[in-house]
A and B are shown apart, each in its own frame.
Chain A
């Protein structure tokens, strides 16, 4: 179980990239992390991975994320975390050396299926192919929690559709995916849960099964939340400042 408790991230003392985010992700879930640019999706994923400092706690089965369990998390990002001068096969060697849980068969199968050249340096590949290799590496690390930050920026829709289907076919029940994306329509059936971030806070968290029951799509849900959001926040804030004033005895 991945547990986030009151996670906050502040830049320059005033910019709240994340504010009191609390979240639990159970094994086997496919979570869509949604929100517009700047909502805090990337920041949240990087905090989980320990790539950014933060206040609050993030634990994996009760244990804080550290060197002993970091291998249980993997990461695929649109910024690309691979070595551009290396080939996919060379990456395979590197990953195999550093991650004992590396899934070699899956790597071969996926490289094969997407017809990716194993012996060409990554910088010589198209952006779409690079994205695919980035995601494949994250899938084959052998992690329990696979975090993906807009991994398909630059891939055509057929490519993405193929990937969602392949993922659904190969993921084991113990493997969990957290996918940050703004492609709300196409992930509709793929994810089991939608978590909506707005201005660094979670403003929505719903299972797609519930949405399905109500005949709503993820897009409908997000639109609904965004529509009501400004009022909720401003009224909550005025409530909060009222409380503080009472405590201070001023005004």
Chain B
């Protein structure tokens, strides 16, 4: 069962996007495998305190993207091919990095300054 307990909703981004991101992040991290079951819409709605329509929208879009499949009357499940998993593993870090680059640019940092910043800070946080 795909876990959503640790999903903390934030303001500013549509909820359905956050739900989709959470699933994709799970896929990229390897926590979510092909065939894993998703909680029912109602369960997820109650867990997150979010209207079922929003959950429905997220599931629908995920289905359109080919990441999950729903059968009426039963729970949806993740359906991933290896290619999809790989793509996800690459896509999510790329998206996040692009966002980060935009933010740095907005603050007036150059590429080399940003890279230098990463170098310095990453070493400090290395496990």
Contact = CB atoms under 8 A, between A and B. Distances in A.
Interface of A: 30, 161, 164-166, 168-170, 189-192, 208-209, 212-213, 215, 217
Contacts of B54: 189, 208-209, 212
A213 B14 CA distance: 6
Contacts of A209: 53-54, 57
A212 B47 contact: no
B51 A192 contact: yes
Given A168-B42, A168-B45, A168-B46, A190 B13 contact: no
Contacts of A208: 51, 53-54
Contacts of B11: 217
A99 to B, nearest CB: 24
A248 to B, nearest CB: 49
Given A189-B9, A209-B57, A168 B51 contact: yes
Nearest to B50: A189
Contacts of B43: 169
A12 to B, nearest CB: 40
Contacts of B93: none
A170 B15 CA distance: 21
Given A168-B45, A169-B43, A192 B53 contact: yes
Interface in B36-62: 42-43, 45-54, 57
B14 A189 contact: no
B110 to A, nearest CB: 30
B127 interface: no
B53 A168 contact: no
B73 interface: no
Given A212-B16, A215-B12, A217-B11, A191 B51 contact: yes
B14 A168 contact: no
Given A164-B49, A168-B50, A208-B54, 13 more contacts: A30-B51, A161-B49, A165-B47, A165-B49, A168-B45, A168-B46, A168-B51, A169-B45, A189-B15, A191-B51, A192-B52, A209-B54, A215-B12
A190 B51 contact: yes
Nearest to A161: B49
A189 B48 contact: yes
A140 B1 CA distance: 31
Interface in B1-31: 9, 11-16
A46 B50 CA distance: 28
A190 B12 CA distance: 16
Contacts of B48: 189
A234 B9 CA distance: 40
Interface in B46-96: 46-54, 57
Contacts of A170: 46
A190 B14 contact: no
Nearest to A209: B53
A113 to B, nearest CB: 12
Scoring A161, A209, A217 by chain B CB atoms within 10 A of each residue's CB, the highest score goes to: A209
A168 B42 CA distance: 7
A215 B51 contact: no
Scoring A30, A164, A166, A168 by chain B CB atoms within 10 A of each residue's CB, the highest score goes to A168
A190 B45 CA distance: 9
B70 to A, nearest CB: 16
Contacts of A161: 49
B51 A189 contact: yes
A213 B53 CA distance: 13
